[in-house]
Structure 1
Amino acid sequence: MTTTPVFAATDPVGLPPVRSILQKDEECAKPSKTVAEAKPWTRSAMDLGRSWRLSQGAGVLVAVVDTGVDQSAPALAGRVDAVGDAAKDCVGHGSFAAGLIAAAPRPGTGVVGIAPQARVLAVRGTDAKGYTSGGSLAGAIRTAADRGAKVIYVGRASVDERRALTEAVAYAMERDALVVAPAAPDIAPEDSESGQSDPTARPYFPAFVPQVLSVVDYGPGGGRPESAPDAFAPDLAAPGDSVVSVGPGGEGHFIGSGSSLAAASVAGAAALVRAHDPKLTAAQTADRLEHSAYPSDVPRLDLYAALSAVGGGSGPAAAGETGEDARVRLPESASPAPRNRALVIAAGSIGFLLLVAAAMVVVPRGRRRSWRVAGR
């Protein structure tokens, strides 16, 4: 196993790229042999240091609807539940997304998930090689909602089974689960046969459903890929290009880019907000993330602003406040004694200054008059 302190997409050392789909006769993704030591650019871009003081996602279950999640990945060990065979991840994309959302800190690396204390529910939304359909995604969303997920990350964008996907989102919202999805498929030449790299601007589902948080990506320089299609106005932009995360098997890391990975960033952010303020509904969580975003052509996720917004929750640590007690409170009225002392001191100071000013006028006049009374 080798280590590298950098992991930009142009780094000559490089990390293996994560794939979103494999050809039918292609072998499963092999574990990465390279560990990224340094902190990724996303940690500062999302202000995770300050955000983690408020929330780390404890108590929130995030469903990853994708290619599966490898339960043996060390950074996810002990926190992944799987539906059916979703504990196996031949492609690696689901494990990568789960790592972006919830990977725990590990010795020797600065790579960590946005919500490192959240739990993950792996729900397969594709076949073993990553091929999917709208019907498969719709069924997986319903399953995730039934299993109690409060945030449902969908790693794919589909153009078929729109009604099924719309109804699945409504089903999830009725169960207070927030669905987060990429606004368009990732652009990847190796995925051309799958239809996942179609750059045509069109409505993609489930992102096009109004109740879904639709997400596009940006990179370390702040820009979005020129090839990224805009079929409609996405809700948020988030870090998704040249991002680093775990993969199936071992301690090594992969690198990837795309709106699906930006959606994973937003899913992690939603987990932090829901853990920080458990009283927020799925719709209110989406509203909080959108309205606290940094203004831009597509509003940019501002995680710390979402967590520290006025009216934000106190999280589990401040249990006991319910109903009206949980609202923002004004401080108790202070004792008047310090204020009265301040007024006395201020009045004395003003009086002294007036005496000095008067002396400066009266004394010179008195000397000129030899201290005689005027008119004598």
Structure 2
Amino acid sequence: MRAMRCDPTSARAAVAALLVAGPLLVAGAAPASAASDPVELPLLRTELAADEPCAEASGQTAKSEPWTTSALGLPRAWQQSQGAGVTVAVVDTGVGTSIPALSGRVEAAGDAGDDCVGHGSFAAGVIAAAPAEGVGVAGVAPAARILAVRGAEERGATSPTLLADGIRKAAEAGAQVIYVARALPAGKKELTAAVAYATDRDALVVAPFAPDTAPEGDGEEEGGERAPLWYWPAAAPDVLAVMDYGPGGGRPKGAPTAVSADLAAPGDAVVGSGPEGPGHYLGSGSSLAAAHVAGAAALVRARHPDLSAAEAARRLTATAYPASPPRLDAYAALGAVLTDAVGAVPEPPPAELPAAPSGTPRHRAVLVAAAGGALVLLVAAAAVVIPRGRARRWRPAD
């Protein structure tokens, strides 16, 4: 998978898109007017080259509420659930353990507490960052716990084996929701088996339907190669595959086609945590949309603890805003009343034919009916003959 481009043009475009929801002010600056200079947050990366330094703490803090908060209806959703008691596994580049917004709620498997790239820390913040005074950014499920599981090498490169191992480790650790940050064009067998392993342990797997960056014209000939239409683990059964959209509701030009997406969620111009410290980064892509859905899944599983993973997924998709694919509505997923049952419809019991009736009652009924009919005819005849006989003075024969 290729790393996200980090050129100044794309950074400025992302910041401009973010400002649709309002200006971001530098931490400590006076919010006197909308004309204040906006924060130009450092851009999130997916992979780092071998000669690039690791991501550092951001010196910029977003002060205003990002557009994603209102798009998902989070202020109302938090009145019903904040994800307490639910563990979300982040299978990614690791999650920093010194991020104030996640303080005390990050458990790392192995060396996953170190995040050189910063993508896993960013996704964890989108999922579960707690609100702080003077900071406008909060995660979808600010009371959920994070289990950091390494699904990539130190600098972000990954493989089907690394992702599959990460999914299995997360399921074995008891995570109720498993967020997988990557989408690969190969690894169908390994990743499908890993997802099945997690599903058997009642874990809901959420993944991006396609990589954050892909060749323009996905699915069409590009440089003599045809871009894949299916990516893994998103295309595996029981996975919630998620597509991204931006502040205006659309998607960037040349973005991958949503062939296999189950849900759409905010994924462009997203603000999230850095690998350490209180500062923020700016990122875009379907991996961040999947992080929003993973957070919403934590809200649902905390609010409705009796639901299975399949039932929680059904609630998220059934209550989404009607579109193609449906758009996540975190508030509706918590409070809506679903009238249809989830799962397979039970087979009706086999039909049983009644035993053949006995012929004796039928014969008896025929005899009784015949005798009754004869009696009626006899009475009718007597009613006619006897009066006429009397009129003619008939007498019985000697």
TM-score (norm 1): 0.77
User: 1:162: Cα distance to partner?
Assistant: 1.2
| Aligned: 1:182 with 2:198 | no
1:38 is matched with which residue? 64
- For 1:114-193, list aligned pairs within 5 A: 114-187=140-213
User: 1:64: Cα distance to partner?
Assistant: 0.1
2:296 is matched with which residue? 269
1:247 paired residue among 265, 274, 289: 274
The one-letter code of the counterpart of 1:221 is G
2:232 paired residue among 205, 215, 229: 205
Matches of 2:245 and 2:267, distance apart in 1: 6
Matches of 1:243 and 1:35, distance apart in 2: 13
Q: Residue 261 of structure 1: SS of its match in structure 2?
A: helix
Matches of 1:311 and 1:290, distance apart in 2: 11
| Aligned: 1:67 with 2:93 | yes
User: 1:226: Cα distance to partner?
Assistant: 2.1
Matches of 2:213 and 2:89, distance apart in 1: 24
Contact 1:201 1:230 in 2 (8 A): no
Contact 2:80 2:334 in 1 (8 A): yes
Matches of 2:73 and 2:178, distance apart in 1: 23
1:281 is matched with which residue? 308
Matches of 2:331 and 2:108, distance apart in 1: 30
1:224 is matched with which residue? 251
The one-letter code of the counterpart of 2:274 is G
User: Any idea what the Cα deviations from partners look like across 1:157-199, whole Å, max 9, x if unmatched?
Assistant: 012221010000000000000000000000289xxxxxxxx99
User: 1:200: Cα distance to partner?
Assistant: 2.3
Matches of 1:39 and 1:2, distance apart in 2: 13
The one-letter code of the counterpart of 2:327 is R
Contact 2:177 2:294 in 1 (8 A): yes
Matches of 2:144 and 2:66, distance apart in 1: 20
User: 1:30: Cα distance to partner?
Assistant: 1.4
| Aligned: 1:77 with 2:98 | no
User: Any idea what the Cα deviations from partners look like across 1:58-103, whole Å, max 9, x if unmatched?
Assistant: 0000000000000101101110000000000000000000000000
User: 1:232: Cα distance to partner?
Assistant: 2.1
Q: Residue 260 of structure 1: SS of its match in structure 2?
A: helix
2:74 paired residue among 43, 48, 55: 48
2:121 paired residue among 95, 99, 109: 95
User: 1:263: Cα distance to partner?
Assistant: 0.1
Q: Residue 107 of structure 2: SS of its match in structure 1?
A: strand
Matches of 1:259 and 1:70, distance apart in 2: 22
Matched residues, number: 299
2:132 is matched with which residue? 106
1:18 paired residue among 40, 44, 52: 44
Structure 2 regions of 5+ residues with no counterpart?
A: 1-24, 32-36, 216-224, 340-398
Q: Alignment RMSD, CA only?
A: 1.9
User: Any idea what the Cα deviations from partners look like across 1:299-346, whole Å, max 9, x if unmatched?
Assistant: 10111111111159xxxxxxxxxxxxxxxxxxxxxxxxxxxxxxxxxx
The one-letter code of the counterpart of 2:147 is L
Matches of 1:53 and 1:303, distance apart in 2: 12
Q: Residue 65 of structure 1: SS of its match in structure 2?
A: strand
Contact 1:157 1:207 in 2 (8 A): yes
Contact 1:16 1:255 in 2 (8 A): yes
1:258 is matched with which residue? 285
Contact 2:26 2:63 in 1 (8 A): no
User: Any idea what the Cα deviations from partners look like across 1:191-244, whole Å, max 9, x if unmatched?
Assistant: xxxxxxx99242100000121000010111111122221262310000010010
The one-letter code of the counterpart of 1:151 is V
1:351 is matched with which residue? none
User: 1:150: Cα distance to partner?
Assistant: 0.2
Report the identity percentage: 62
TM-score (norm 2): 0.73
1:215 is matched with which residue? 242
Contact 2:92 2:149 in 1 (8 A): yes
| Aligned: 1:238 with 2:260 | no
Q: Residue 61 of structure 2: SS of its match in structure 1?
A: strand
2:13 is matched with which residue? none
Matches of 1:38 and 1:273, distance apart in 2: 26
User: 1:13: Cα distance to partner?
Assistant: 3.5
User: 1:2: Cα distance to partner?
Assistant: 4.4
**Structure whose alpha-carbon radius of gyration is higher:** 2
User: Any idea what the Cα deviations from partners look like across 1:273-307, whole Å, max 9, x if unmatched?
Assistant: 00000000001111111111111121101111111
1:301 is matched with which residue? 328
